[in-house]
Amino acid sequence: MDSTPSDPRVLTIGHSTHSWERFERLLLGAGVTAVADVRTSPWSRHTPQFNRDALAERLKGAGLAYVYLGDALGGRPTGAHLFDDGVADYEAMAAEPAFKAGLERVRKGAERHVVALMCAEQEPLDCHRCLLVSRQLKAMGLAVSHVLPDGQVEPHAATERRLLVCEGLEHDDFLEGPEERLARAYRQRARKAAYAEDQPETAVLGAAG
């Protein structure tokens, strides 16, 4: 189903342990018309309804488009230069040509669809779809929001305010401007949430995409 949003935007969502029926309601309730899968490994032993092939088929049945972008926008890099002390370096990953090409595909897709970037974690602040991908989409000028487990849609600016609180950086600092504080909050959170080489199945805060 094609759509031409009057105000192009991008949403994100985590499938978590939702039933298919619940996940479908979340997507349709948010007005999503296309899902971009940003999981590096689009398979799950625990939630087989979200395995790539099954997911694509179910989305098709619901009238929603599906595209796999985990090869470009996934959270588990392979190059040694994309790790910092064994943890995926989101700032280095954001500079990769393949990553930038993936962002451009999302931008173009948002001209025709209401796109939801999908990964596993239910909390955006525990996932690269927020800490890496959404941050860069925002820098490109796209409006980004996150579909939360209860169906609320949280603007990325509100998510960033929560990020500052979570990292203890919500208060003004005479020596550090707002942009610098926010960048530091992103870096701190990423060290906790990003994929680590010595944790092949899970990241510190969850199963990184």
For residue 209, the model assigns a pLDDT of 75
Mean pLDDT of the chain: 92
Going 89 to 140 to 39 to 206, the CA torsion angle's sign is positive
Q: pLDDT tens digits for 126-145?
A: 999 999 999 999 999 999 99
Domain locations along the chain? 9-156
Tokens 């759509």 appear where?
3
Q: In this structure, what token pair is assigned to residue 19?
A: 């039933």
Query: Which residues make beta-bridge pairs with 11?
Result: 116, 145
Q: Is the dihedral of CA 30, 35, 41, 45 positive or negative?
A: positive
Helix, strand, or coil (residue 116): strand
Q: What is the pLDDT of residue 101?
A: 99
In this structure, of 40-49, 96-105, 174-183, the range with the lowest mean pLDDT score is 174-183
9-156 domain in CATH 3.40.30.10? no
User: To which H or E segment does residue 85 belong?
Assistant: none
The amino acid present at 52, given as its one-letter code, is: R
Tokens standing for residue 149 = 């487990």
Say whether 156 sits in a helix, a strand or coil: helix
> Model confidence over 5-32: pLDDT tens digits?
446 689 999 999 999 999 999 999 999 9
> Where is 13: in which H helix or E strand?
strand 9-14
H or E element in which residue 8 lies: none
* HSE value, Cβ hemisphere, 13 Å, CA-based, for 92: 14
On whether the CB atoms of residues 206 and 75 are closer than 8 A, the answer is no
